[in-house]
């Protein structure tokens, strides 16, 4: 089983557990999230892998952030200060996208830092992301096409972005190599 298949099963399993914990039927969650009834079933069974924007939309129906959804730190645990690379919490970003969160998404955190990886051609999706807060990043390698509102720019290693997240935005690997960046968002939205 490849890493992609594992991630899809993991997302489906987590979604089912979260939905049941909140005592929601698939139909109710679909209605709250504004998605087709079959969508929740397809994700939970591992038959489809949602895009970042689609998963955020579904989780908004609970409501829950992506960070809370993927965080494996249990309530009441002492916060860490230092994190080894392998200890970062993997947040599924959809096909070809990896978000690795520093720390957990515990209530009260005002800052979220992610190590992001976009495989060649990876895209956050046609539906633009939009949420409260501000975000910024520095590209470490590769090229990332960033669209904010009506503006689009391709950024390379050393380039950066910073914007108000209420502006509709989208990210896409525009190059011929993997794109890696470190981003920050306040307040946490994943």
Predicted pLDDT at 8: 43
- Three-state DSSP class for 130? coil
Predicted pLDDT at 70: 74
* Distance, CA of 89 to CA of 36 (rounded, Å): 29
Q: Which fold has domain 3-69?
A: 434 Repressor (Amino-terminal Domain) (1.10.260)
Give the CA dihedral 166, 174, 49, 18, nearest 10 degrees: -40
* Cα–chain center distance at 132: 15
* Cα–chain center distance at 157: 22
Domain 76-186: CATH architecture, name and number where available: Sandwich (2.60)
Predicted pLDDT at 77: 46
Domain boundaries, the chain: 3-69, 76-186
For the sheet with 112-118, list strands across it.
Answer: 89-92, 97-101, 112-118, 179-186, 134-141, 160-164
The residue to which tokens 């392998």 are assigned? 86
Predicted pLDDT at 122: 94
Give the CA dihedral 182, 177, 7, 93, nearest 10 degrees: 40
Tens-digit pLDDT string for the chain (190 aa): 333 333 444 788 888 888 888 888 899 999 999 998 898 989 888 888 888 788 888 998 998 887 778 764 444 445 677 878 887 888 766 789 988 888 765 555 678 899 999 999 999 988 888 888 899 999 999 999 999 999 999 999 999 999 999 999 999 999 999 999 999 998 877 6
Predicted pLDDT at 149: 95
* Distance, CA of 131 to CA of 104 (rounded, Å): 20
Predicted pLDDT at 135: 95
């Amino acid at each position: 089983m490849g890493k992609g298949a594992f991630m899809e099963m993991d997302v489906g399993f987590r979604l089912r557990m979260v939905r049941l914990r909140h005592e929601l039927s698939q139909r109710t969650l679909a209605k709250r999230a504004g998605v087709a009834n079959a969508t929740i079933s397809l994700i939970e069974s591992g038959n489809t892998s949602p895009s970042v924007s689609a998963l955020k939309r579904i989780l908004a129906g609970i409501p829950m952030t992506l960070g809370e959804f993927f965080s494996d730190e249990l309530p009441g645990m002492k916060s860490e200060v230092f994190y080894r690379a392998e200890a970062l919490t993997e947040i599924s970003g959809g096909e070809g996208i990896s978000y690795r969160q520093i720390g957990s998404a515990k209530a009260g955190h005002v800052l979220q830092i992610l190590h992001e990886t976009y495989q060649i051609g990876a895209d956050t999706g046609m539906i633009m992301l939009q949420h409260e807060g501000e975000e910024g990043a520095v590209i470490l390698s590769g090229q990332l096409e960033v669209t904010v509102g009506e503006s689009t720019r391709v950024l390379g290693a050393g380039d950066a972005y910073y914007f108000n997240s209420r502006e509709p935005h989208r990210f896409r690997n525009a190059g011929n190599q993997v794109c890696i960046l470190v981003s920050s968002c306040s307040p946490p939205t994943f």
